């Protein structure tokens, strides 16, 4: 999560205490000092779009977005703009920190003494301005099902989901058409108030959030009828995204800026997509290989044959060697799943299951008896297969 200065000029360039120049709010938005409210709003929207994460993913864009937002908050408020033009204070506050305009009074004009007290009390009176209504939208999580074939080759998916989007009626500002947030009269637009508290140093001032504007410094007296002043509404929205080739079941994809819309012009959150790969009728996946089982008639397995096999890459001819046994595996190179992040693919493993006939006629049975006799095979005896054990067991036997 991405979560101070003495202004001495009334010109468009504000000077900070370390002598480092910063761009004025007018320069930040690219407007003249006599720009109208509409020109300021238009310039802000243009800048905000340019700095949106979907358009400008650079790290500098986030910091620039903060500066643009602060500039708009000050210049769009008549009182803050007047204070800014007069004092150069970046927050658009009147007088010195801790001075006039703060309900509750006390030590007005003695900012230096208040700052000294705040070092001990932690009050930080006058050191902060009103909070911004802008908030980044929440991240969202959805689950999408795809076929095994889509997981192998990748796919472009289009779905519809319900999410918070920017209100089109007010463009996310939360105010009715033709209106804008008004300066809070309770805190004079500061977003906080001062109250007297007793401490070991005596009576000092402590900042508290304004109960009427909740720290924003402005109130929306005429909210947008569509979003009820929230700047967002919930609706079904289409979403198109790419599933990369080679993804596995339960993989998670992050779509930056596709989460819920931000509050009052803030950036969107991110969307996380959990992928559910559905079971395929004929194929399963083992690592980057695909596996399928094919039933081969007993005689075809004994004599050898070629069979057609329907794969994700179309029909393939598979040669079955003579004498093939149940459990034998035939490998088709390069017909498996894509290796994620590469163009390589695994193999398709064809497991053979030899089918022994069960519904034979007496004539067929007699022919099999004759075949067994020709091969000298007994119908009443079998040969037990010696258990070889694992590799460790076989190595151990060598030293006995």
* Arithmetic mean of pLDDT over the chain: 81
The predicted structure's pLDDT at residue 122: 39
186 assigned to a ligand binding site: no
22 assigned to a ligand binding site: no
187 assigned to a ligand binding site: yes
184 assigned to a ligand binding site: yes
Residues 289 and 252 in one domain: no
CATH number of the domain residue 354 falls in: 2.60.260.20
Given the structure tokens 């012009």, which residue do they identify? 265
Q: Is residue 324 a part of any domain in this protein? A: yes
335 assigned to a ligand binding site: no
The predicted structure's pLDDT at residue 124: 41
Residues 174 and 257 in one domain: yes
Residues 314 and 300 in one domain: yes
* CB contact at 8 A, 125 and 98: yes
Residue 233 forms beta bridges with which residues?
A: 165
The structure's pTM equals 0.59
* CB contact at 8 A, 219 and 184: yes
Domain boundary among 277, 301, 325: 277
Q: What's the pLDDT tens digit per position in 80-123?
A: 888 787 777 777 665 433 333 333 333 333 334 444 344 343 34
Residues 288 and 343 in one domain: yes
Residues 54 and 150 in one domain: no
Q: Is residue 201 a part of any domain in this protein? A: no
The predicted structure's pLDDT at residue 150: 97
Domain boundary among 258, 277, 296: 277
Residue 289 forms beta bridges with which residues?
A: 286
Q: Is residue 121 a part of any domain in this protein? A: no
* CB contact at 8 A, 47 and 66: no
Question: Which position has the higher pLDDT, 246 or 129?
Answer: 246
Q: What's the pLDDT tens digit per position in 123-180?
A: 444 445 677 888 888 999 999 999 999 999 999 999 999 999 999 999 999 999 999 9
Residues 273 and 293 in one domain: no
210 assigned to a ligand binding site: yes
What's the rounded Cα separation, in Å, for the pair 242 and 246?
12
Q: Is residue 265 a part of any domain in this protein? A: yes
Residues 301 and 346 in one domain: yes
Q: Measured in whole angstroms, how far is the alpha carbon of residue 381 from the centre of its chain?
A: 66
Domain boundary among 60, 87, 114: 87
pLDDT band at 399 (very low <50, low <70, confident <90, very high): low
Residues 63 and 42 in one domain: yes
Q: Is residue 8 a part of any domain in this protein? A: no
Domain count for the chain: 3
167 assigned to a ligand binding site: yes
Q: Is residue 129 a part of any domain in this protein? A: no
Residues 295 and 271 in one domain: no
Residues 309 and 362 in one domain: yes
69 assigned to a ligand binding site: no
**Mean pLDDT to the nearest integer, 43-53:** 78
Which phi and psi angles does 338 have, rounded to 5°?
A: -70, 140
* CB contact at 8 A, 127 and 5: no
What's the rounded Cα separation, in Å, for the pair 4 and 17?
8
pLDDT value at 245 more than 90: yes
Residues 146 and 173 in one domain: yes
Q: What's the pLDDT tens digit per position in 350-390?
A: 999 999 998 999 999 999 999 989 988 887 777 676 666 65
Domain limits for position 307: 283-375
């Amino acid at each position: 999560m991405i979560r101070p200065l003495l202004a001495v000029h009334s010109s468009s360039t504000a000077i900070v205490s370390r002598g480092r120049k910063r761009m004025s709010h007018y320069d930040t938005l690219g407007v003249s000092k006599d720009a109208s409210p509409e020109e300021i709003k238009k310039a802000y929207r243009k800048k905000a779009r340019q700095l949106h994460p979907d358009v400008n993913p650079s790290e500098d864009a986030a910091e620039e977005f903060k500066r643009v937002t602060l500039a708009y908050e000050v210049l769009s408020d008549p009182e803050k703009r007047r204070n800014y033009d007069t004092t150069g204070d970046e927050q658009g506050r009147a007088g010195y920190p801790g001075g006039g305009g703060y309900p509750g009074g006390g030590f007005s004009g003695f900012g230096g003494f208040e700052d000294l007290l705040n070092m001990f009390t932690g009050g930080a009176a006058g050191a902060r301005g009103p909070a911004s209504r802008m908030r980044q939208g929440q991240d969202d999580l959805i689950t999408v099902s795809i076929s095994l074939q889509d997981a192998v080759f990748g796919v472009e998916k289009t779905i519809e989901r319900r999410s918070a989007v920017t209100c089109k009626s007010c463009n996310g500002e939360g105010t009715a058409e033709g209106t804008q947030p008004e300066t809070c009269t309770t805190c004079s637009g500061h977003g906080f108030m001062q109250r007297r508290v007793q401490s070991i140093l005596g009576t000092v001032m402590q900042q508290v959030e304004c109960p009427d504007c909740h720290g924003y410094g402005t109130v929306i007296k005429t909210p947008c009828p569509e979003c009820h002043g929230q700047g967002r509404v919930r609706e079904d929205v289409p979403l198109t995204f790419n599933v990369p080739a080679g993804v596995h079941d339960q993989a998670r994809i992050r779509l930056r800026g596709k989460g819920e819309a931000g509050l009052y012009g803030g950036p969107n959150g991110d969307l996380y997509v959990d992928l559910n790969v559905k079971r395929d009728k004929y194929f399963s996946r083992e690592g980057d290989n695909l596996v399928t089982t094919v039933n081969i008639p007993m005689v075809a397995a004994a004599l050898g044959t070629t069979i057609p096999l329907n794969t994700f890459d179309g029909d393939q001819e598979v040669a079955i060697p003579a004498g093939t046994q149940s459990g034998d595996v035939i490998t088709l190179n390069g017909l498996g799943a894509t290796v994620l992040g590469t163009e390589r693919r695994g193999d398709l493993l064809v497991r053979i299951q030899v089918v022994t006939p069960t519904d034979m006629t007496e004539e067929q049975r007699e022919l099999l008896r004759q075949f067994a006799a020709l091969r000298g095979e007994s119908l009443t005896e079998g040969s037990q297969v010696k258990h070889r054990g694992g590799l460790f067991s076989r190595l151990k036997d060598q030293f006995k």
